[in-house]
Structure 1
Amino acid sequence: MAQGNEKTRYALADVAEPNLYRDIYPYTELPRVVFEEQAAPMIPAKDVWITDTTFRDGQQARPPYTPEQILRIFDLLHQIDGGTGLIRQCEFFLYADRDRKAIEL
């Protein structure tokens, strides 16, 4: 155990195949939460809805959307919802004139 300014050194193992933990992160299901070697059962809520942040947090990793792109994505989200109320709200940053223009379209 390292004390004070001492650094613990670990040996790097060069492996042929990564351990992707497919028992916890399967490709076909939601990730499982494991407690003491047992998977916790998934009990989804009766009502599920989406608060979309595509136009807020989703933009931080890429160049800003144009007003026309925002309108197109919003229209696609509206189609996905299909009047079901699944998508409860979309959140927007309104910092620049470009952002305000998108809301006015």
Structure 2
Amino acid sequence: MIDISALLTVIAAVGGIACVLCWAAKHIPIGEPGPEPGARNSTRMTPEQLRLRISHDAPYWPLTLSEARRACQQHRGCSLEHCGRKRAGFTALYRAGKLQPDNRIAELLQRTRF
């Protein structure tokens, strides 16, 4: 006869491996090449720079003009409705007179808290 505890151990191990593989399939990009060694974009960033680069949350402070330009460049693929950092950048540039948006975007920027 098969020992029941050994059978349960095997089932638990197979289930654990299946969970890890499902997680990896969702979170690990496959087939996307990384930057070439020595490429211009392969410079190391500090943790703070990395956090600011990937954060789409609106900042807790009004952005300076240089921060606003950088936020708009880094988040150029994001929509103003869903990316608080891009919206904060556009708002700073709009209020400084550096940007002339269309009416729809101007209304959105006027409702922004900064």
Question: Which structure has the larger Rg?
Answer: 2
Higher helix share: 2
Q: TM-score, normalised by structure 2?
A: 0.25
Q: TM-score, normalised by structure 1?
A: 0.27
Higher strand share: 1
Q: With CA pairs under 8 Å and 6+ residues apart, which has the higher RCO, 1 or 2?
A: 1
